[in-house]
Amino acid sequence: MITDSTEPMQLEADAVISTFENYGAAWGLYIGLTLLLAGLVWFTFRKQHFLLKWFLSSVVLAGALCFGHPAENIDTYSPLILNTMVELFDGNKEQFFSDVKFIALVWGILFITGVAIWLLIRFLRKDKADTKKPQNKQNKPATEEKEKPSKVNNKPRGATPVEPTMGDDL
């Protein structure tokens, strides 16, 4: 049978995957590079609204940091997005859609949590700014008017324009 001829190769692959020497260091490097990529996405869109930056960064984080087993009898983990692509190429549509649903669930939780924290910070900053403002508006007389910053003594600020004349320079 075909499975008999590929069985030694499968056992060899299992041994290589489960006995990877620098497994922890590889995951550390992978997580560090993923965070760097999310930071670069954030930096690239730094002038955009928070929700756009967080949407793109959370897609990168959820897609890259979900993990799963690369094969059935393997104790180690690999990025789920890679496992999902292998399942797609192998024709295992059920597992592919299951993995995509899991990644989407993780992204949704991550995105909603980030937005909730952002809204909480905005609320606390606004509340803190409101408590710092003096409440003396009621004590000021109504007849007092603020002077406009563009005019002092009803004269415009800045240089006075000079009218050009013809023939007066002699």
pLDDT (tens, 9 = 90+) of the chain, 170 residues, equals 455 556 666 666 555 555 577 888 888 999 999 999 999 999 999 999 999 999 999 999 999 999 888 877 777 888 999 888 988 898 888 988 999 999 999 999 999 999 999 999 999 988 877 777 666 555 555 555 555 555 556 665 667 777 767 665 55
Amino acid symbol at 56: L
Cα distance from N-terminal residue to C-terminal residue, the chain: 113
Residue whose pair of structure tokens reads 């049978």 in the numeric block? 1
Pick from 131, 14, 126, 21: which is nearest to 69 by CA?
14
Structure tokens at 18: 């489960």
Cα angle for residues 76, 80, 82 (degrees, 5° grid)? 100
Please state, in angstroms and rounded to a whole number, the distance separating the CA atoms of residues 55 and 138: 44
Pick from 49, 53, 73, 69: which is nearest to 61 by CA?
53
